[in-house]
């Protein structure tokens, strides 16, 4: 064995002692990002709306005749496209919950591997959807920023913090779509030069798309040429 790979192996096992490889959901040792049983709960995003990717009622029909969903037909969102590699649920939902609410920022790296399961965005720059300063202070880190760094590595695109959340919008959970939209109106502002660049907005989960829509609108108003959205998971 060449000496360099020997040293590499020693370094790796030392790292494994400090940061043992574990399942991001159930902590089973030795497998990353998920152990076998947890990986079995991951559901690749089925065919659906070509704009917001909400899964179609009839998956086969949606794949054959891509049609915008009722919400996108009624009022097209400001982003051109939103997609995610997997549906939000099972072990992935558990891992995202741990990342956000159990201060497990170390999980951003293994979860970032999941971006490999989706096509690269048509974009010049990745912009994470920011937390409000008060939430950032409470959590200590911004999970979207950490995931954006991982997506950047995979898609070969730079990350730029070009958005700020100008007011705390509280929890979106429990609000319907209209209430979410009202709550988010004007909640984001651009802080930097967009120069007609194409932006890929990045976040952990897309639910109704109201947050992504508000962020995308701010970017377009600020001079972005096109905005698409990429998240780790999409609510079914
Ligand atoms: Zn597991
Ligand atoms: Zn749609």
pTM over 0.85? The answer is yes
CA distance 134 to 139: 9
Contact by Cβ (8 Å): 161, 145:
yes
| Pairing between β-strand 86-87 and β-strand 226-234 as defined by DSSP bridges | parallel
pLDDT of residue 178: 82
Quote the ligand 2 centre to 68 CA distance (angstroms).
5
Q: What is the pLDDT of residue 26?
A: 96
Q: Ligand 1 centre from 173 Cα, in Å?
A: 26
What ligand is nearest to the CA atom of residue 79? 2
Q: For position 80, what pLDDT does the model report?
A: 97
Q: What is the pLDDT of residue 86?
A: 97
Closest ligand to residue 74's CA: 2
Query: pLDDT below 50 — which residues of the chain?
Result: 1
- CB proximity list for 199: less than 8 A, separation 6 or greater: 123, 124, 125, 126, 127, 162, 216, 219, 224, 226, 227, 228
Residue 11 CA, ligand 2 centroid: distance in Å: 47
CB of 94 closer than 8 Å to CB of 63: no
pLDDT at 16: 55
How far, in Å, from the CA of 218 to the mean position of ligand 2?
A: 20
C-alpha 51 to ligand 2 mean position (Å): 5
Residue indicated by tokens 């976040």: 203
Residues with CB in 5 Å of ion ligand 2:
49, 51-52, 69, 72
């Amino acid at each position: 064995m060449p000496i360099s790979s020997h040293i590499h192996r020693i370094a790796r096992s030392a790292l494994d002692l400090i940061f043992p490889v574990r399942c991001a959901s159930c902590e089973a040792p030795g497998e990353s990002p998920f152990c076998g049983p947890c990986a079995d709960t991951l559901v690749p995003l089925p065919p659906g709306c070509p704009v917001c990717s909400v899964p179609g009622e009839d998956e086969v029909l949606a794949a054959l005749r891509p049609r915008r969903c009722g919400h996108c037909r009624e009022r097209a969102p400001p982003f051109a496209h939103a997609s995610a590699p997997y549906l939000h649920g099972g072990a992935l939902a558990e891992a995202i919950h741990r990342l956000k609410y159990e201060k497990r920022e170390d999980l951003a790296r293994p979860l970032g591997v999941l971006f490999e399961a989706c096509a690269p965005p048509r974009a010049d720059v990745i912009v994470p959807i920011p937390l409000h300063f008060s939430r950032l202070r409470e959590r200590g880190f911004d999970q979207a920023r950490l995931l954006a760094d991982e997506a950047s590595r995979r898609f070969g695109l730079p990350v730029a913090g070009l958005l700020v959340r100008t007011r705390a919008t509280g929890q979106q959970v429990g609000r319907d779509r209209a209430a979410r939209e009202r709550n988010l109106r004007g909640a984001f502002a651009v802080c930097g030069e967009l120069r007609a660049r194409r932006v890929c907005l990045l976040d952990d989960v897309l639910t109704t798309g109201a947050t992504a829509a508000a962020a995308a609108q701010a970017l377009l108003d600020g001079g972005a040429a096109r905005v698409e959205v990429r998240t780790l998971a999409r609510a079914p």
